[in-house]
Amino acid sequence: MLAVDGVSKRFGGLMAVDSASLALEPGGIVGLIGPNGAGKTTLFSMISGFVPPSDGRIRFEGTDITAEEPHRRAQRGIGRTFQIVQPFAGLTVCENIAVGAYLRHAKRADATARAREVARRVGLGAELDRPAGGLTVAGRKRLELARALATEPKLLLLDEVLAGLNPSEIRDIIPVIRGIRDEGVTILMIEHVMQAVMNLCERVYVLAQGRMIAEGPPAAVCADPRVIEAYLGHGAAARLAAEGAAHG
């Protein structure tokens, strides 16, 4: 469904993303993990059209979309959330979500009905008429998810929607994400909460310093020495193995 092929992004002297590739089949939840500054958000921005790649190709459902504008990609069915939440602060929660719903429903009544439905689903049913600017962090994260969901995407890119939530809020939202997947939406999620990654993702990609260094089922990837080194520094994998042997 999505094929990212050798995509790079250079910001001045910095290679934020360096020839990264990934491929998604329809259905399922795939994770994208990696240390801070690895280039995950930049990769999302290239897939959704906000940042033009310096190199490489992106295909969606067989069509080359590398040069397409963000709104065209949303129309094709690529929805995204922003890591740094971007609410329409002056509008109510319902109006925020309705902007997403208008993509597939031209009539106000239909778009509003759809917005209410989505709001209830992500747990914002009680906040519909509140100004979005007044929501808590958790509320704003839910709003990001709700708006993207209201566009009825085929592919949903979630950028750290669990960051800043407490454990009970995370427990609430995990079934929601699983429910979206069960409806047939393909999900690619950037996540730092490893418990959620283990819980939700069938497969994960690991990005470190702009390069895709590993890919596979979450448990296997987390045991991969290259991944451990990427997170904990050079030599960490060997040190951990040695410690493990000493304790054994």
Q: Return residues touching other proteins (CB under 8 A).
A: 48-50, 69-71, 74-75, 79-80, 82, 86-91, 95, 98-100, 102-103, 106-108, 111, 147-148, 150-151
Does residue 168 interact with ligand ADP by CB under 6 A?
A: no
Total residues at the site for ligand ADP (CB under 6 A)? 11
Which does residue 111 bind out of Mg ion, ligand ADP, other proteins, none, counting CB within 5 to 8 angstroms by kind?
other proteins
Q: Which helix (H) or strand (E) holds 225?
A: helix 225-232
DSSP secondary structure string for all residues of 102-134? TTT--SHHHHHHHHHHHHHHTT-GGGTTSBGGG
Quote the CA–CA distance of 23 and 211 in Å, as a whole number.
Answer: 15
- Residue among 103 and 213 whose Cβ is closer to Mg ion: 213
73 binds ligand ADP (CB under 6 A): no
> Hey, what amino acid is at 89?
A
Cβ(97)–Cβ(143) below 8 Å: yes
Residue 218 interacts with which of ligand ADP, other proteins, Mg ion, none, CB < 5 to 8 Å by class:
none
Rounded to whole angstroms, how far apart are CA atoms 38 and 207? 6
Distances (CA, A) of 217 to 130, 175, 194: 41, 20, 13
Under rule CB under 6 A, residue 16 binds ligand ADP: yes
* Binding of residue 38 to ligand ADP (CB under 6 A): yes
- Selection from Mg ion, ligand ADP, other proteins, none that 106 binds (CB < 5 to 8 A by kind) is other proteins
